[in-house]
């Protein structure tokens, strides 16, 4: 009888362990992708430089919604869909101003842009923010391999901190450069040059990831090998000749440093 009770207790303990594992990893979904991933290509590089919006986090729809709200407040209906917005926003740093400002009255663009930033911050606080496909696995692999890494973004510190609080895995990235930390926005290389100043060592093999061509230009001007991650339907791909492109981090499995140099 005593042996039977001991066996029952042991069985219950094992059952609880299995239950905990199911809850942690979810048998339907499997373990977190960063546990299963084998991103061996990452070992070719010593320093990873990353954009934020539209690359790691799906915030571009929120930026678009903020501009839509701004325009409505000033009596103008923005006539674009999301892809059209991205085509203009990613083409140049002044593209949105040129396209929108003439329709919004006499107010200066700086005042209007500050209003847009407030709207966007409200949307960040009220809505759900999600990582883009493959990002969790990618960041987990960087963490596991203790690779030097940095985010260099055009977003301000307040926006960035809000996003990091919503997605704690972003806090595994140790260095963040926000708009307050450098003078000229992308496509100028200032943000990435600041990152190199903080992190780069002589002989480092460096790679950078962006979701826009102006971000790619910033990386190139800083002397960093660039990779473009964006939707295959994005209009900017018509001008991205010679740029290494993947639809998402999930698709990167065979990236080769020699291939990048040839590009």
- CATH (domain of 245): 3.40.50.1000
Residue 235 and residue 139 share a domain: yes
Q: Write down the pLDDT at residue 8.
A: 40
Q: Write down the pLDDT at residue 111.
A: 94
Q: Which residues constitute the domain of residue 16?
A: 1-30
Residue 37 and residue 145 share a domain: yes
Task: Classify strands 175-177 and 206-210 as parallel, antiparallel or unpaired.
Answer: unpaired
Residue 150 and residue 41 share a domain: yes
Q: Domain ends where: 102, 126, 150? A: 126
What's the total number of domains in the chain? 3
Q: Which two tokens stand for residue 39?
A: 């991103």
Residue 146 and residue 36 share a domain: yes
How does pLDDT run across 97-146, given as a tens digit for each residue? Answer: 899 999 998 899 999 989 999 999 999 998 789 999 999 999 999 999 99
CA distances from 106 to 101, 208, 215 (A): 9, 40, 31
Residue 179 and residue 52 share a domain: yes
Q: Write down the pLDDT at residue 24.
A: 36
CA distance 65 to 47: 34
Residue 176 and residue 51 share a domain: yes
Residue 170 and residue 76 share a domain: no
Q: Domain ends where: 94, 126, 158? A: 126
CATH number of the domain at 109, please. 1.10.150
Residue 157 and residue 46 share a domain: yes
Residue 238 and residue 180 share a domain: yes
* Residues of the chain below pLDDT 70: 1-38, 256-263
Residue 215 and residue 170 share a domain: yes
Residue 204 and residue 145 share a domain: yes
Residue 156 and residue 196 share a domain: yes
Q: Write down the pLDDT at residue 260.
A: 65
Quickly list DSSP for 45-85: -SEEEE--BTTTB--HHHHHHHHHHHHHHTT------HHHH
Q: Domain ends where: 96, 126, 156? A: 126
């Amino acid at each position: 009888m005593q042996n039977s009770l001991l066996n029952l207790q042991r069985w219950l303990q094992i059952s609880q362990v299995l239950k905990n594992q199911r809850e942690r990893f979810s048998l339907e979904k499997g373990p977190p992708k960063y546990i299963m991933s084998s991103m061996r290509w990452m070992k070719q590089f010593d320093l990873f430089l990353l954009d934020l919006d539209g690359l790691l986090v799906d915030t571009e729809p929120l930026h678009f919604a903020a501009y839509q709200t701004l325009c409505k407040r000033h009596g103008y209906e923005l006539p674009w869909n999301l892809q059209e917005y991205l085509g203009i926003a990613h083409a140049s740093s002044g593209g949105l101003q040129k396209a929108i400002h003439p329709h919004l009255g006499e107010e200066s663009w700086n005042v209007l842009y500050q209003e847009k930033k407030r709207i966007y911050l409200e949307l960040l606080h009220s809505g759900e923010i999600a990582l883009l496909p493959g990002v969790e696995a990618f960041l987990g692999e960087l963490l596991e391999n203790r690779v030097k890494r940095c985010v260099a973004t055009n977003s301000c510190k307040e926006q960035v901190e809000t996003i990091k609080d919503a997605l704690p895995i972003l806090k595994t990235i140790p260095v963040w450069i926000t708009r307050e930390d450098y003078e000229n926005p992308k496509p100028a290389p200032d943000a990435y040059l600041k990152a190199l100043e903080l992190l780069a060592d002589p002989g480092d093999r460096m790679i950078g990831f962006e979701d826009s061509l102006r971000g790619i230009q910033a990386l190139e001007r800083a002397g960093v090998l660039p990779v473009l991650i964006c939707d295959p339907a994005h209009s900017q791909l018509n001008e991205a000749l010679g740029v290494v492109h993947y639809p998402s981090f999930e698709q990167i499995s065979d990236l080769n440093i020699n291939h990048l140099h040839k590009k």
